[in-house]
Amino acid sequence: MILTRRALVAGGAATLLTGCERVQNWGPTRELLRSGEKLNGGLQRLLIDRNALAPEFRPDQMSPVFRVNGTANPNTPEYNALASGQFADWRLQIGGLVARPLRLSLAQLRSMPYRTQITRHDCVEGWSAIGQWQGPLLGQMLRLAGLRDAARFIVFHCADRIQGHRYYESIDLVDAFHPQTIMAVAMNGRPLDIGHGAPVRLRVERQLGYKHAKYVMGIEAVASLDATGLGKGGFWEDHHDYDWFAGI
Ligand SMILES: Nc1nc2c(c(=O)[nH]1)N[C@H]1C(S)=C(S)[C@@H](COP(=O)(O)O)O[C@H]1N2
Ligand SMILES: [Mo]
């Protein structure tokens, strides 16, 4: 900030000078202004209220059609076996840097206190849809498991493969403990269907669509993202250069 103000003052003074002196002075000044802009951009991101709520909507605002995007069915032998048994044999594993690793059944997830929210999903491909989601807070599940102090990120391991790679995603602890971050087991008042990520999918409402991992099989607390996938924090980040921070 101070740098930018000094740069402005220097720029102002430069206009009083003549000829090449002015040009000489203006060069470095412009550099300083540019670095000031970068600094402001960084500060802005730091200053975003990461705990602010995403907008919620009324039932009559829900989209009549909510598109299925990406994987529509993991279609592996293991997943198909679980699905044909209504996911009775499925367990959500919560592990990594936790004091008490958990294996939760769908019935257990459904019996936990849950949140209901009607939110807008924004996909980078240029479509949005408003839907209702229900499920326990991720933060509550992480408290049950007892996150260790070293944990910095939460990784979601999914059942599907896309372009030959396992789908995975990750978020930081601010998003993990955000009051609208839930593991959704129901959508629009019905159990989550296969297209939208059965038996459970992440809803992380301040982030773009690709962060909302479907078909979650495991939740892992880690200190760093280096050892997962190619180390950039998700399938799209690793293979298509998407930003890891997809805040909206
Ligand atoms: N496991 C998994 N999760 C995923 C995807 C996927 O292909 N596999 N696609 C992502 C993208 S790009 C979007 S926009 C949303 C789509 O969710 P929907 O199918 O419920 O609309 O899921 C996200 N989560
Ligand atoms: Mo997306």
pLDDT in tens for each of the 248 residues of the chain? 333 433 333 333 333 334 443 444 444 555 555 555 556 656 656 677 999 999 999 999 999 999 999 999 999 999 999 999 999 999 999 999 999 999 999 999 999 999 999 999 999 999 999 999 999 999 999 999 999 999 999 999 999 999 999 999 999 999 999 999 999 999 999 999 999 999 999 999 999 999 999 999 999 999 999 999 999 999 999 999 999 999 99
- Give the dihedral of Cα atoms 169, 170, 174, 180; nearest 10 deg: 20
Give the model's pLDDT for residue 43. 65
Please tell me the residue having the least CA distance from ligand 1 atom 1. 214
Q: Which of 68, 165, 168, 212 to mutate to test the pocket of ligand 1 (most atoms within 8 A of CB)?
A: 212
Which atom, in ligand 1's list, is nearest to the CA of 197?
A: 20
Q: d(Cα 17, Cα 246) in Å, to the nearest integer?
A: 46
Please tell me the residue having the least CA distance from ligand 1 atom 21. 68
Residue 229 in 3-state DSSP? coil
Q: d(Cα 28, Cα 40) in Å, to the nearest integer?
A: 18
Q: d(Cα 69, Cα 162) in Å, to the nearest integer?
A: 12
Give the model's pLDDT for residue 23. 41
The CA 23 to ligand 2 mean position distance, Å, reads 48
CA nearest to 187, candidates 202, 175, 177, 169: 202
The CA 248 to ligand 2 mean position distance, Å, reads 13
Q: Is the C-beta atom of 114 inside 6 A of ligand 1? A: no
Which atom, in ligand 1's list, is nearest to the CA of 209?
A: 14
Residues 6+ apart with CB under 8 A from 92: 102, 103, 104, 105, 109, 183, 200, 216, 217, 218, 219
Query: Which ligand is closest to the CA of 124, given by its number?
Result: 2
Please tell me the residue having the least CA distance from ligand 1 atom 12. 210
Residue 154 in 3-state DSSP? strand
Q: Which of 132, 214, 217, 240 to mutate to test the pocket of ligand 1 (most atoms within 8 A of CB)?
A: 214
Categorise residue 119: left if φ over 0, alpha if ψ from -120 to 50, beta otherwise: beta
Which atom, in ligand 1's list, is nearest to the CA of 169?
A: 3
Burial of 240 (0-12, 13-18, 19+ CB in 10 A): exposed
Please tell me the residue having the least CA distance from ligand 1 atom 7. 70
Torsions phi, psi of 217, nearest 5?
Answer: -105, -35
Give the model's pLDDT for residue 48. 79
Which atom, in ligand 1's list, is nearest to the CA of 187?
A: 20
Number of neighbouring beta carbons within 10 Å of residue 197: 26
Please tell me the residue having the least CA distance from ligand 1 atom 5. 70
Consecutive H or E run containing 91: strand 91-96
Please tell me the residue having the least CA distance from ligand 1 atom 19. 68
The CA 99 to ligand 1 mean position distance, Å, reads 30
Q: d(Cα 226, Cα 244) in Å, to the nearest integer?
A: 13
Q: Is the C-beta atom of 157 inside 6 A of ligand 1? A: no
